[in-house]
Amino acid sequence: MADHLSDVIVFVEVARAGSFTLAADRLGLTKSAVSKTISRLEERLGDRLLTRSTRRLALTASGDAYLASCVAALDILRDAEEALGGHEASPKGRLRMDMPSAFGRRVLVPLLADLCLAHPALQLTLSFTDRLIDPIEEGVDLVIRFGRTADTSGLVAKTLVEFPQHICASPAYLARRGTPEHLEDLDRHNCLVGSRRGAPLRWSVRKDSTDLRISPPPTHQIEDGEAIIAMAVAGLGLCQMPAPLVRDQLASGALVPVLEAFRGPDVPVQAVWPGTRQASPRVRFLVDRLAEHGRAGLLG
């Protein structure tokens, strides 16, 4: 039975990594050992779990269903051990967390550092991406994202805090191109917009008491929030960013807010994690602490 559990752990890592080589590196095994483990598991189950090509691995329909069951089972085992060995006030073990680049580095990392100092048994694996990810597929315990998460099977979301958003530009850009007074003026401006899978993201505004999502000219499409701010400061165009990310630039005058009369609804910061059941103790602890910081005004 112990061998069966080891095989399951290897399979989950291979499925998440999409590569024998990457999974082997993560598990501290050889690529050959990982490949043999998958073959042994498939033989025992009597079904093909993965399709193999020279470029990548892909789950079969059976593999996809088996992965969901394996992840759920491993989560239950992990949570059972945590429930026996720890308390919510003293989290321990590793938590994998993904967060937006600029917000993560500027706001969350200092708070997480304080939490780790107070709870040395807590270990973090941090990644920084501005694109949406599937925490189940990526093997991430907790994802922090701006915006409201659409209803998605297998995911749970909690709003930590909400921030106003500002459309802003550098004084040099506004001196060169003029200051927009109406939303229609955006069509004559350069805009720095976020991007997801090659598609430009829309901006949130409010006009005549109605919340709208508009598509400004995507002069530059950028997947990194820090880069958007840097390009706006450099005078390349208008951007829309949550208040905490441009607070210093607005205070120093490096950026100037425009179209404030059309400022849209506040954008939520949400914690998202996998699971149709109660969150694991580590995730629950961290979400609760971040929510407390949000209520205390420490997330912005």
| Cross-strand bridge partners of residue 205 | 212, 263
| Amino acid code (one letter) for 254 | A
* Per-residue model confidence (pLDDT) at position 280: 76
Instruction: Report if residue 300 sits inside a domain.
Output: no
Among 84, 110, 129, where does a domain finish? 84
Other Cβ atoms closer than 10 A to 21 = 13
Amino acid, res. 148: R
Q: What is the pLDDT, as a whole number, of residue 226?
A: 93
The pLDDT assigned to 125 comes to 92
184 and 250 both lie in a single domain: yes
> Does one domain contain both 193 and 49?
no
Give residue 37's pLDDT: 93
Half-sphere exposure of 291 (CA within 13 A, CB side): 12
Same domain, 51 and 126: no
Return d(Cα 171, Cα 75) in angstroms, integer. 52
**Judgement on whether residues 30 and 122 belong to the same structural domain of the protein:** no
Same domain? For 170 and 152 the reply is no
Same domain, 20 and 147: no
Q: Count of domains in the chain?
A: 3
Please indicate, yes or no, if residue 224 is contained in any of the structural domains: yes
**Same domain, yes or no: 126 and 44:** no
**Do the domain assignments include residue 42?**
yes
Q: Residue 57 domain-assigned? A: yes
Same domain assignment for residues 173 and 291: no
3-state secondary structure the chain: CHHHHHHHHHHHHHHHHCCHHHHHHHHCCCHHHHHHHHHHHHHHHCCCCEEECCCCEEECHHHHHHHHHHHHHHHHHHHHHHHHHCECCECCEEEEEEECHHHHHHHHHHHHHHHHHHCCCEEEEEEECCCCCCHHHHCCCEEEEECCCCCCCCEEEEEEEEECEEEEECHHHHHHHCCCCCHHHHHHCCEEEEEECCEECCEEEEECCEEEEECCCCCEEECCHHHHHHHHHCCCCEEEEEHHHHHHHHHHCCCEEECHHHECCCEEEEEEEECCCCCCHHHHHHHHHHHHHHHCCCCC
103 lies in the same domain as 72? no
**Count of beta carbons in the 10 Å neighbourhood of residue 87:** 11
Domain of 240? Answer: 165-265
Whether 19 maps to a domain, the answer reads yes
Q: What is the pTM of this model?
A: 0.71
Q: What's 33's domain CATH number?
A: 1.10.10.10
Question: Domain with 158 in it: what CATH number?
Answer: 3.40.190.10
Query: Does 65 lie in the same domain as 192?
Result: no
Q: Are residues 155 and 194 in the same domain?
A: no
Walking along the chain (300 residues) 10 residues at a time, the average pLDDT comes out as 80 88 88 92 92 80 87 73 59 90 94 95 91 79 87 79 97 98 97 90 94 96 94 98 95 98 94 72 91 90
Q: What is the pLDDT of residues 78-126, one digit of tens each?
A: 766 666 655 455 788 889 999 999 999 999 999 999 999 999 999 999 9
